[in-house]
Structure 1
Amino acid sequence: MARPVVLVVDDDAGVRESFRLTLEDHYDVVDVPDGLRALDAVRASQVDLVLLDIRLPEMDGIEVLERIKAIDEGIEVVLVTAVRTVRTAVAAMKLGAFDYLTKPFEEDELLAVIARALEKRALEREVTFLRGELARARDFDEIVGHHPAMQKVYHLVAQVARTTTTVLITGESGTGKELVARAIHRQGPRRDKPFVAVNPAAVAESLIESELFGHERGAFTGANQRKLGRFELAQGGTLFLDEIATLKGELQVKLLRVLQEREIERVGGTHPIKIDVRVVAATNADLKDAVARGAFREDLYYRLNVVSIDVPPLAQRADDIPLLVQHFVHRYSRECNKPVDELSPEILTALREYGWPGNVRELQNVIERAVVLAEGPVIQLSDLPLDVLLPKHREKVRTADHLPLKNATEEFERQIVLRVLERVGGNQSEAARILGLHRNTINRIVGRSKTS
């Protein structure tokens, strides 16, 4: 894995060489004699920490510190001086210096300060993604299901997790492709490093290159400071590229080069940056068809599709629905602090009969809604949305499209009421409650149905 980069800034060549000899067994060391070259080095490559002498020609250390933080506020800076004053120390700390070393100092003291500074930098990087993890509280945190198709997914995840192989995950929207990618990451040797997800389709086309590869200060209007891209933020870990089929041609070329060369170049940058990142991609599109149409590069397709994992739609594993329902009921009853732990007998029948075009994500949302609306410990049919409760009436309603508006409306109304009555065993009071209608209205519609 890539080692942290330490930049040594001192006008004394002997001091720079001494630092290099002390640090090069642990870090990649770059040394420069003045502030201007230090700023050039920070702009040109990824620097994790700067050892900065206060007394420099042309531009003193305090000014260099301020400019470094303007380029990349995440870089840790340790100031080094022969004479320590309270005023200088206060100024340095206000500008974001990590620590202040006074010459002479012991080698162990230097190494300890650097280790603490780099640990802080690593923690700050991960905090961003921990916040992202917390924001995903709505997503289930483990794969649920016993269907043979899911067993195949588990088997493939276990096989590829131990490797660094690029993986392509396919499946409809809402099937849990990102969940599979996270499982690969968690079960592999990179589990303690970042898992970074990006969906190119969710990022403006003009910004996606910067989002992936980062940019330098001044690279474009609004680029007021350096920004690390998702590849650099995932250093040592896993980058999940969702909906990869939406990536445009020019970026497909750049991604292919990254996968081949294992290096990136920031927007506005002039030097390549080595990366150590595992790439897992996902798509709900037919990439083979996209290749045939010329919409997706064939060479990139084969680079991504070293190992393919297909996540089945929920409709193909309906036997897993009770397990998933139980999982989500438990989760949301706990989150909502409601003692909901049962379902009325008709609920599972209704859930099994529904086609789930939105797959597991749709089921998750339906159960969350049901828990929120439940008035007691048992989820009732009335807690389900009508789309789920009445899946069979849709095709029938289409046959009424040619009817005059009044007749079509009555036909639609009749089919809904009859479907709900079927669900509740003919109980008109219960049907009225579910539909929010008066019982007399139900009687009228039922009577109209008998005469038609």
Structure 2
Amino acid sequence: MTGPVNPVARVGGRFRLLVVADNAVLAIHSLPEAGSVTIGRGEDNLIQIDDESISRRHAILHVGPVMTIEDLGSSNGTKFRDLTIEPHAPHELGVNELVTLGSLTVIIQGRFTPPQTSRIATHDYFQARLEEECSRAERTGAQFAVLGIRVSGVASESAVVEALMMTLRQSDVLAKQGERAYELLLIDSPRDQAELVAQRLLGCLEAVNAKATHVVVGYPDDSRSAYELMTRIVGGGDETAAGDDLIIAEQSMRDLYALISRIARSDLPVLILGETGVGKEKMSRAVHQYSPRASHPFLAINCAALNDALLESELFGHERGSFTGANTVKTGLLEAATGGTVFLDEIGDMSLAIQAKLLRVIEDGEVRKVGAIKSTKIHVRFVAATNTDLETATEQGRFREDLYFRLSAATLVIPPLRERPNEIELLASRFANRASMRASGSAKALTPAALAMLKRYSWPGNIRELRNVIERAVLLCGESSIALEHLPAEKMRGTFVRAPTNNTGTDAGTPEEDRAAPDRAPPDLGDERARILGALEKAGGNQSKAAALLGMSRRTLINRLEEYKLPRPRKGRSTRA
């Protein structure tokens, strides 16, 4: 049997090997950063274990990015997870896993590193550790979580890092993701525990005057892929990915993307509803990227941009000579996307004739080119989007009810930007930074008055309009910060989301008062129920006009009427409380 515990060498790599018997540590051996380490009773082994159950050359440990152990034909064998491993067949093992050599147990552990004042890693190191943790969890069935945090406010970076470090354990990994953005790897923490950690972190940040938004994803609940986990916390990797401009700072959007991650695993068609500019195509890409089809094509087409003949040719393809100008065979989008996802944008503008053909494709899983005799089998996932009320369209005979039911198997409704106020500042800052980088200038900040104006505006064009406004402001402001004079203030003042006017016809949000006190905080939105009643009164009971006055979609207005138990009025008649 081995004697007293050996001193741990101060050289070597990140790992050490413990020899254990009868619940007591008999020896501790430092392991190199990489290489092969022989284990046995003989003196010629790098790790000598003087025990009768250990052969002279018992096993060899291969240390590197992937760690393996190999039995060398020992007398009493080597066991891993209670199974005897075959001689000379390397078996992969991870940190803290138990291996039985003869009658002894050996454990590989990570070295303890004393706490440091700053323990923030690079993004590249974080990605490598995340991949390593995914591999370990796949082998052991462990759970862990990844946390993304985006910080705003006046706190310095050192104060932010110190606040984050106060809550983290030594085993957790904190890295810099980008400007005022951080990523954390919470080892052996299920998703629900990670949410509690996130709340403690937000409390620590608030104590140093730093506001923050966060996203938590868990392994294996949300994904088993390191790439997908990173995509979900950073919002995608490139300009065409689903996460471009993706900022999630509202619970409604967090719930929506959690739903997407579940829906994406199936082949159900998805219908995405939302106003113009809310990001319907980006959400459709998220459905594709989170699905098993992510490695296959994602093809999109705008149904409103083409006439019937062109749309039919683009979707279904055509044979040579099937019509004037068809000089070659054309493969349609539906056939080209087989195995992947087809995104049909503005499907509410598709004609009834094309709707009938699309329905047949969805039901039969076959597509026939224009002018062809035979059909071709396809296997695609359909995602459709529209900013129109398809329920009303079906009632009016403008959209096929059977197609609507097939497409709406899973429906996602994206709230407009005015209902996601916490995201306006974050989006505006991102757009300003990107526009500044394209212009080879320094990052542009927003003055308090400009930011207040952005938050008060109703954004009928949603994220697309916000991007255009900020990009214009970056060009106008030169080297200074973005101020009120760089925004289309007159237009924006005319479409505030605010409480109805009082009996004198004036309120705290008049353009004259805005000019006099531009730094005033945005006014209280007031009683929404009263605003709805006022808008319906002005619109004479016309719900579409009332919705436009309120800066919301007709569907949102209908939902509010139901929420406040207000009867839906007939045209020409107002609703009274």
TM-score, normalised via structure 1 length: 0.57
State the partner residue of 1:364: 467
Structure-2 change in CA distance of 1:319 and 1:269 (3 Å)? same
Which structure carries more strand by proportion?
2
Q: Distance in 2 between matches of 1:263 and 1:362?
A: 39
Structure-2 change in CA distance of 1:377 and 1:247 (3 Å)? same
Query: Which residue of 227, 252, 273 corresponds with 2:376?
Result: 273
State the partner residue of 2:441: 338
Which structure carries more helix by proportion?
1
Query: Which residue of 414, 419, 422 corresponds with 2:517?
Result: 422
Aligned residues between the structures: 273
Q: Where do 1:382-397 residues align within 5 Å?
A: 382-391=485-494
Is it true that 1:162 corresponds to 2:265 in the alignment? yes
Is it true that 1:241 corresponds to 2:344 in the alignment? yes
Is it true that 1:327 corresponds to 2:422 in the alignment? no
State the partner residue of 1:412: none
Is it true that 1:173 corresponds to 2:268 in the alignment? no
Structure-2 change in CA distance of 1:393 and 1:174 (3 Å)? closer
265-274 or 326-335, which deviates more: 326-335
Q: Cα offset for 1:160? A: 1.1
What's the CA shift string for 1:96-137, capped at 9, x where partnerless? xxxxxxxxxxxxxxxxxxxxxxxxxxxxxxxxxxxxxx9976
Q: Distance in 2 between matches of 1:361 and 1:140?
A: 15
8 Å Cα contact 1:340-1:377 kept in structure 2? no
Query: Which residue of 289, 296, 302 corresponds with 2:405?
Result: 302
Structure-2 change in CA distance of 1:374 and 1:233 (3 Å)? farther
SS in structure 2 opposite 1:198? strand
State the partner residue of 1:228: 331
Q: Cα offset for 1:235? A: 1.8
- AA of the residue aligned to 1:228: T
State the partner residue of 2:357: 254
8 Å Cα contact 2:242-2:283 kept in structure 1? no
Structure-2 change in CA distance of 1:394 and 1:276 (3 Å)? closer
8 Å Cα contact 1:354-1:388 kept in structure 2? no
| Percentage of pairs with the same residue | 43
Q: Where do 1:409-448 residues align within 5 Å?
A: 419-423=514-518
Q: Where do 1:34-433 residues align within 5 Å?
A: 141-391=244-494, 419-423=514-518
SS in structure 2 opposite 1:379? coil
8 Å Cα contact 1:145-1:324 kept in structure 2? no
Q: Cα offset for 1:230? A: 1.2
Structure-2 change in CA distance of 1:352 and 1:138 (3 Å)? farther
- AA of the residue aligned to 2:473: A
199-208 or 385-394, which deviates more: 385-394
Structure 1 unpaired stretches of 5+: 1-133, 396-414, 426-452
Q: Distance in 1 between matches of 2:327 and 2:454?
A: 51
Q: Cα offset for 1:266? A: 0.6
SS in structure 2 opposite 1:239? strand
What's the CA shift string for 1:302-326, capped at 9, x where partnerless? 1101100000011111121111112
- AA of the residue aligned to 2:288: H
Q: Distance in 1 between matches of 2:272 and 2:249?
A: 19
What's the CA shift string for 1:356-399, capped at 9, x where partnerless? 0001111111111112222115212221123554336999xxxx
State the partner residue of 1:54: none
Q: Distance in 1 between matches of 2:331 and 2:400?
A: 26
SS in structure 2 opposite 1:189? coil
Structure-2 change in CA distance of 1:259 and 1:348 (3 Å)? same
8 Å Cα contact 1:366-1:384 kept in structure 2? yes
SS in structure 2 opposite 1:225? coil
What's the CA shift string for 1:394-424, capped at 9, x where partnerless? 99xxxxxxxxxxxxxxxxxxx8666434327
SS in structure 1 opposite 2:425? helix
8 Å Cα contact 2:300-2:344 kept in structure 1? yes
TM-score, normalised via structure 2 length: 0.45
8 Å Cα contact 2:308-2:354 kept in structure 1? no
State the partner residue of 1:403: none
- AA of the residue aligned to 1:283: T
8 Å Cα contact 2:457-2:497 kept in structure 1? no
Structure 2 unpaired stretches of 5+: 1-236, 499-509, 521-577
- AA of the residue aligned to 2:493: L
Q: Distance in 2 between matches of 1:388 and 1:186?
A: 38
What's the CA shift string for 1:328-370, capped at 9, x where partnerless? 1222222222102311111110001111000111111111111
Q: Distance in 1 between matches of 2:241 and 2:438?
A: 10
Q: Tell me: higher relative CO, structure 1 or 2? Use CA pairs within 8 A at least 6 residues apart.
A: 1
What's the CA shift string for 1:232-284, capped at 9, x where partnerless? 22121110001111111111111111001111001111110111111001111
8 Å Cα contact 1:215-1:227 kept in structure 2? yes
- AA of the residue aligned to 2:308: E
Q: Cα offset for 1:301? A: 0.8
SS in structure 2 opposite 1:202? coil
- AA of the residue aligned to 1:161: A
8 Å Cα contact 1:381-1:389 kept in structure 2? no
- AA of the residue aligned to 1:420: R
Q: Distance in 1 between matches of 2:329 and 2:238?
A: 25
